[in-house]
Amino acid sequence: RSNAEKFEFQAEVSRLMDIIINSLYSNKDIFLRELISNASDALDKIRFLALTDKDVLGEGDTAKLEIQIKLDKAKKILSIRDRGIGMTKEDLIKNLGTIAKSGTSAFVEKMQSSGDLNLIGQFGVGFYSAYLVADYIEVISKHNDDIQHVWESKADGKFAVSEDTWNEPLGRGTEIRLHLRDEAGEYLEESKLKDLVKRYSEFINFPINLWASKEVETEVPAEEDESAEEETETTSTEEEKEEDAEEEDSEKKQKTKKVKETVYEWELLNDVKAIWLRSPKEVTEEEYTKFYHSLAKDFSDEKPMAWSHFNAEGDVEFKAVLYVPPKAAHDQYESYYNTNKANLKLYVRRVFISDEFDELLPKYLSFLKGLVDSDTLPLNVSREMLQQHSSLKTIKKKLIRKALDMIRKLAEEDPDEVHDDDKKGIPYNKLLGIRPLIVFQVIFFTDPVDEYLMQYLMDYEDKKFQNVSKEGLKVGKDSKVKELKEAFKELTKWWKESLASENVDDVKISNRLADTPCVVVTSKFGWSANMERIMQSQTL
Ligand code: ADP
Ligand code: MG
């Protein structure tokens, strides 16, 4: 193409693509759910913008918020099209050439060793999974702010972006054209695609339509030529279909006979009724599990440990589904510490608003996954305005109560599930992937996350936790301390003065020691030695 501009992929993307292309054992099916998930994200974005500016949707077909899948068996092309927000030239270069999310490096490393691509969607690089089945991909995209462009790459370290002067105008949105590899022929079978959409994309909230063939029996005029009797005709475009119908009409009075004919029409593959709008009694365990997988982008087949689906009524109305994940997320520490992200998706009247609202759950419950859909919140305001809406406080309060109820119930119903050492013990450990070792009154916390957890876990069943590595530990009676303080007054004073103030905050008499003369501890609100180590390892 004469107007193509050439670019090189960011080194990390290239490495990722190499792994994808050479991955022999991965489940190739996953590419479809990744592309559909991107299409759905893009539709969510334009629908959100349309809340405050209706004109962004455009007119006619362009305004239809849907996903279309089409096959071209002869050319071995599978295309997935959406009428979502689309990408400008700049977007194409940035989004499909570089990796935005942190932690991808680690993922690339992990994939290289394990070859498992199942979690790719969680790392913000799902698009590239399309190269599992295609050796050449064209991305045609039209954003409201730009003219239509084509991005293309053969996964050879480079890609090109051109102004699109030859394809049909999309109106708005994106069409991903996959030129399938020879060994990926199965993805040209309609049955395979239907099966995959059912399996992986069941909970996409936009219609997914397949340009699907259908056998129909039609009456056509009987011709002299008998050999034409068994012939089946393939009609593949809508215009041709119409022409055929006209022909039939005009010749209706002649003698007719029945023939089988293959016609194409859009077939809806998913049921777009949102699961959270259904009554909890009607939703099966399997459906909740599958919904969890799609929410968490975790298709590892593990069942969530618990869930709570409820409908809050009163001043603030909302529906919510909360899940306790089967295991800690790969980025649990990172997202806990660096982002404030609650893992909840917020919808207002079925419209997806954001999954980055930190006002919905407190940090210590950020390991939960789920969704909230409120009828009370206003639709036509910005995210920032919404974030300050007074109803959010009520929603948060109810969510916390339901979340804690769920966790408590989990602990009661199935103590083995949540606790290893003591049937009446702490229900939090396995939920967070930690297993404290309990020796009588003392719990040994050995996992890095314990440091974070213990900042919030003040007590359990009326018993207060005390950190033995911090000052102020109370053990037994400290009746002697006063006396000792007096007796060693001069020594402690001398000691403190001898050690520079940047080394220690204070020198005190303690009653915690038995055989050792002294111990270095952390001040009450300071970082423990373990926490210092964790922080240090994170900055390296
Ligand atoms: P993620 O979806 O987690 O961000 P992907 O690798 O799947 O990661 O997609 C990368 C980016 O490419 C998306 O964030 C989005 O900006 C852009 N993108 C991909 N597909 C589409 C699409 N169909 N419409 C608009 N933008 C898209
Ligand atoms: Mg994606």
Per-residue pLDDT tens digits for 82-95: 999 999 999 999 99
Tokens 């290239």, located at residue:
14
SS3 of 147, please? coil
State the pLDDT at residue 424.
38
- Choose among 124, 129, 128, 39: nearest CA to 86: 39
Tell how strand 173-180 and strand 256-268 pair up.
unpaired
DSSP state at residue 283: S
- pTM, entire model: 0.73
State the pLDDT at residue 336.
65
Those residues whose C-beta lies under 8 Å from the C-beta of residue 86, and which sit 6 or more positions away, are 42, 46, 141, 142, 143, 144, 170, 172, 173, 174
Is residue 167 a contact partner of residue 79, using CB atoms and an 8 Å limit? Answer: no
Query: What is the rounded average pLDDT of the residues 521-533?
Result: 84
Tell how strand 5-8 and strand 149-153 pair up.
unpaired
17 CA → ligand 2 middle, Å? 15
Nearest CA to ligand 1 atom 1: 124
Q: How confident is the model at residue 234 (pLDDT cuts 50, 70, 90)?
A: low
**pLDDT tens digit string along 485-512?**
899 999 999 988 888 777 888 898 887 8
Ligand 1 neighbourhood includes 36 CB (under 6 angstroms): no
* CA 2 – CA 165 distance, rounded (Å): 11
Ligand 1 neighbourhood includes 103 CB (under 6 angstroms): no
The amino acid occupying position 455 is Q
Angstrom CA distances, 288 to 5, 278, 427, stand at 46, 11, 23
Nearest CA to ligand 1 atom 15: 95
* CA 508 – CA 488 distance, rounded (Å): 9
Tell how strand 306-312 and strand 318-324 pair up.
antiparallel
Helices (H) and strands (E) in the chain, counts: 15, 19
State the pLDDT at residue 329.
75
SS3 of 72, please? strand
**pLDDT tens digit string along 99-122?**
876 666 777 777 777 767 777 877
State the pLDDT at residue 297.
83
* CA 229 – CA 92 distance, rounded (Å): 51
Ligand 1 neighbourhood includes 34 CB (under 6 angstroms): yes
Ligand 1 neighbourhood includes 84 CB (under 6 angstroms): yes
